[in-house]
C-alpha cells in the first residue's frame, strides 16, 4: 500500500530581488521594497512530501534518514545564508519562494521519492512545486470581516430555520473570514516569479477585500441578493471574480479556500468553466451552515 509522508524542516535566510540589467528605478518599480539593499530575511518553513510502499516496519522511509538528507542537501546550506549567492541557480533566476521550492526539489529528487515541496515564506505566502518543469503554485492569504444571513429568498422563515438553524436569524451574524488564493503558472526563467506578487495582492484587494470587508453580504453585495451567502457560495463568487484578473496577470486561478471559522472551511478548485459553476450555485440552495 502506498502512503504519502511529510517531513517538516526550517531555515532562516535573506534574499534580494534585483536584476543588474535593469536600472535602480526599474528594479524599484518591478520589485518594490524587495529590491532594497542589502536584502531582507525570512524564517522559511519547508514541507517535503514523499511517497512509497509501506515496508515491514510500517514506514515509507526511515524519517531519521530523511532528516539527514534534507539537512545535508538543503538546510545546512541555506540556513543563515544570503540566497542570491549560496546556490548557482539563484544567480540566474531570483530566489523567489516558488523558485526556491523548485531548486530544493532538484536537490532532493536524486535522494528521495518526492511528490511535493511546499515552502512557506511566511504565514501569508507559500509555494508548492510538484516536479512539473517550470510550473509552480503560489498561495497568498488575507482576510476580511463581514456579516451574513443564511436564508433562501424563495423559502419561508420556518423553512429557512429548518435548513439553516440559528444562521437564519433576521439580523444575521458575522465572521472574520480567512481567504487563501492559489494561482498556477510558469516560473519566469529570469525573475523567478509565476506572477507579479504586488499586482496579485492588489487584484485580491480590489476585487474582494475592499468590496467585502465590513459589509452585510446579503445587502451590500448584489450577487447575494438572490444567492445564499454560505461559505461555499462566497468562495464560489470570489473565484469567479478573480478568474479574469488573475489571467490578465499571466497566471491561472487554481484554488480559492475560504475559512469561515476554525470549524468550517471550503475550497473551490477552478477547473470548470465559470458559467457552469455559476448556474449551479444560483439554482441550488446550499445546505451547509455553521
Q: What is the pLDDT of residues 205-244, one digit of tens each?
A: 999 999 999 999 999 999 999 999 999 999 999 999 999 9
Q: Is 34 a catalytic residue?
A: no
Cell of 22: 535593469
Cell of 119: 515552502
Tell me, what's the pLDDT at 227? 96
Cell of 130: 510538484
Q: Do residues 19 and 67 make contact, with C-beta atoms less than 8 angstroms apart?
A: no
Q: Do residues 246 and 256 make contact, with C-beta atoms less than 8 angstroms apart?
A: no
Place of cell 490578465: 248
> In this structure, what DSSP letter does residue 249 have?
T
Q: Do residues 52 and 2 make contact, with C-beta atoms less than 8 angstroms apart?
A: yes
Tell me, what's the pLDDT at 278? 46
Is the pLDDT at 2 greater than 80? The verdict is: yes
pLDDT level of residue 271 (50, 70, 90 thresholds): confident
Tell me, what's the pLDDT at 37? 96
Interval 13-70: pLDDT, tens: 999 999 999 999 999 999 999 999 999 999 999 999 999 999 888 999 999 999 999 9
| 178: number of Cβ within 10 Å | 16
Is the pLDDT at 277 greater than 50? The verdict is: no
Catalytic one of 3, 214, 226, 272: 214
Handedness of CA 160, 161, 167, 169 (dihedral sign): positive
Interval 61-119: pLDDT, tens: 999 999 999 999 999 999 999 999 999 999 999 999 999 999 999 999 999 999 999 99
Catalytic one of 73, 121, 232, 260: 260
CA 172 – CA 85 distance, rounded (Å) = 54
Is the pLDDT at 281 greater than 50? The verdict is: no
Q: Is 53 a catalytic residue?
A: no
Tell me, what's the pLDDT at 117? 98
φ, ψ at 231 (rounded to 5°): -55, -40
- SS3 at position 96: coil
Give the DSSP per-residue string, 122-153. Answer: ETTEEEEE-S-TTEEEEEEEEEEEEEE----T
Tell me, what's the pLDDT at 273? 62
Hey, what's the torsion of the CAs at 125, 129, 133, 136, to 10 degrees? Answer: -30
CA 201 – CA 32 distance, rounded (Å) = 13
Cell of 79: 540556513
Entry pTM: 0.91
Domains of the chain, CATH where assigned: 1-123 (3.30.479.10), 134-290 (3.30.479.10)
Is the pLDDT at 282 greater than 70? The verdict is: no
Q: Is 260 a catalytic residue?
A: yes
Instruction: Choose between 180 and 277: higher pLDDT.
Output: 180
Is the pLDDT at 1 greater than 70? The verdict is: yes
Cell of 273: 468553466
Catalytic one of 167, 175, 237, 266: 167
Average pLDDT over residues 172-176: 97
CA 274 – CA 44 distance, rounded (Å) = 35
Amino acid at each position: 500500500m502506498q502512503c504519502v509522508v511529510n517531513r517538516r524542516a526550517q531555515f532562516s535566510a535573506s534574499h534580494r530581488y534585483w536584476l543588474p540589467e535593469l536600472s535602480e528605478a526599474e528594479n524599484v518599480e518591478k520589485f518594490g521594497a524587495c529590491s532594497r539593499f542589502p536584502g531582507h530575511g525570512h524564517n522559511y518553513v519547508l514541507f517535503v512530501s514523499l511517497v512509497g510502499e509501506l515496508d515491514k516496519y510500517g514506514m515509507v522511509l526511515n524519517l531519521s534518514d530523511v532528516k539527514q538528507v534534507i539537512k545535508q542537501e538543503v538546510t545546512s546550506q541555506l540556513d543563515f545564508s544570503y540566497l542570491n549567492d549560496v546556490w548557482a541557480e539563484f544567480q540566474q533566476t531570483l530566489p523567489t519562494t516558488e523558485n526556491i521550492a523548485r531548486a530544493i526539489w532538484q536537490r532532493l529528487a536524486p535522494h528521495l521519492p518526492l511528490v511535493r515541496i511546499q515552502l512557506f515564506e511566511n504565514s501569508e505566502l507559500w509555494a508548492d512545486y510538484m516536479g512539473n518543469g517550470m510550473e509552480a503554485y503560489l498561495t497568498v492569504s488575507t482576510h476580511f470581516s463581514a456579516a451574513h444571513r443564511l436564508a433562501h429568498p424563495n423559502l419561508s422563515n420556518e423553512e429557512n430555520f429548518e435548513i439553516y438553524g440559528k444562521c437564519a436569524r433576521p439580523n444575521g451574524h458575522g465572521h472574520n473570514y480567512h481567504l487563501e488564493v492559489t494561482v498556477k503558472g510558469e516560473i519566469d526563467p529570469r525573475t523567478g516569479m509565476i506572477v507579479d506578487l504586488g499586482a496579485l495582492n492588489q487584484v485580491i484587494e480590489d476585487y474582494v477585500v475592499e468590496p467585502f470587508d465590513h459589509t452585510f453580504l446579503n445587502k451590500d453585495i448584489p450577487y447575494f441578493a438572490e444567492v445564499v451567502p454560505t461559505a461555499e457560495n462566497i468562495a464560489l463568487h470570489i473565484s469567479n471574480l478573480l478568474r479574469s484578473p488573475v489571467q490578465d496577470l499571466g497566471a491561472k486561478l487554481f484554488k480559492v479556500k475560504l475559512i469561515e471559522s476554525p470549524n468550517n472551511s471550503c475550497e473551490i478548485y477552478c477547473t470548470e468553466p465559470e458559467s457552469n459553476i455559476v448556474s449551479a450555485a444560483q439554482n441550488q440552495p446550499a445546505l451547509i451552515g455553521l
